[in-house]
Amino acid sequence: MWDFGFLRPLDEYENAQLQMLKVLLSSIQLDLSKEDKIQWVHSVDKVYTVVDGVKVMISSNIENDIDWINVVWIKFVPSKIAIFHWLAIQGGVLVMEVLGYRQCLRDITDDKCGWCLSYVESIDHLFLHCSWSFKVWASLFYWWNVSWIIPSSILEFSHDWGNGLGINASKLWKLIGPATLWAIWIARNELVFNRSYKCWAATVDRIKLKVFQWLVNAKVCESYQVYIWKNQPWLIM
């Protein structure tokens, strides 16, 4: 069996789930005389509300055991970037590896990372393990005087980063992770589509400025504090 969302073979667990679903559906009798309607099973009146949806998401927290509120849907992070982070965790970002699964590449050898040209451009490689991306992360860690070992996957990264890595100013630190993922993706697209190589140091500067703009817009700090932000960011609280 295949997962047509990403064009990959289903694993043993997914096949078992599919067979179970078939068994459950086989006992259902359709009443063609009635119109279809959508019901929200988590409320008494069967009507969905955003409040109910958030409550279910927080209480269940089943998928990947992620605390989505603190890891992805972080306050002050723009929705576009939060959704991108969520897609990365789900394996839905269209890196070369995913495009290969979907048979969108002219040649199977086109799946290499555009920066290092040595490894398949997977989500984990592009955002965490590529030598270009690693320089970006290393510079950000140095900026905050933080020592950290790059995790093996985006999922592990999201767990660690969402917990603040033990940093006192974790509310500020949490913003940097999603901003960096987005900045790496933008730089990657410039390379792939425009053949424009972005310096990793310039990308780091853009990440710092972007997060600072979020903080100013949210009135967490004032624009005149940019010097403090660039040199001792943990003092802006």
136-169 pLDDT per residue, tens: 999 999 998 888 888 889 988 888 887 766 666 6
pLDDT of residue 3: 47
Q: What are phi and psi of 76, to 5 degrees?
A: 85, -15
> How remote is the C-alpha of 234 from its chain's centroid?
24
pLDDT of residue 60: 55
86-124 pLDDT per residue, tens: 999 989 999 999 988 888 888 777 899 999 999 999 999
CA distances from 161 to 26, 118, 184 (A): 44, 27, 16
Identify whether the C-beta of residue 124 lies closer than 8 Å to the C-beta of residue 153: yes
Over the range 212-229, which residues count as b (16 or more CB within 10 Å of their CB) and which as e?
bebbbeeebbeeebbeeb
Q: Where are the domains of the chain?
A: 37-66, 67-235
Measured between its terminal Cα atoms, the distance across the chain in Å is 52
Nearest-CA neighbor of 130 among 144, 141, 140, 120? 120
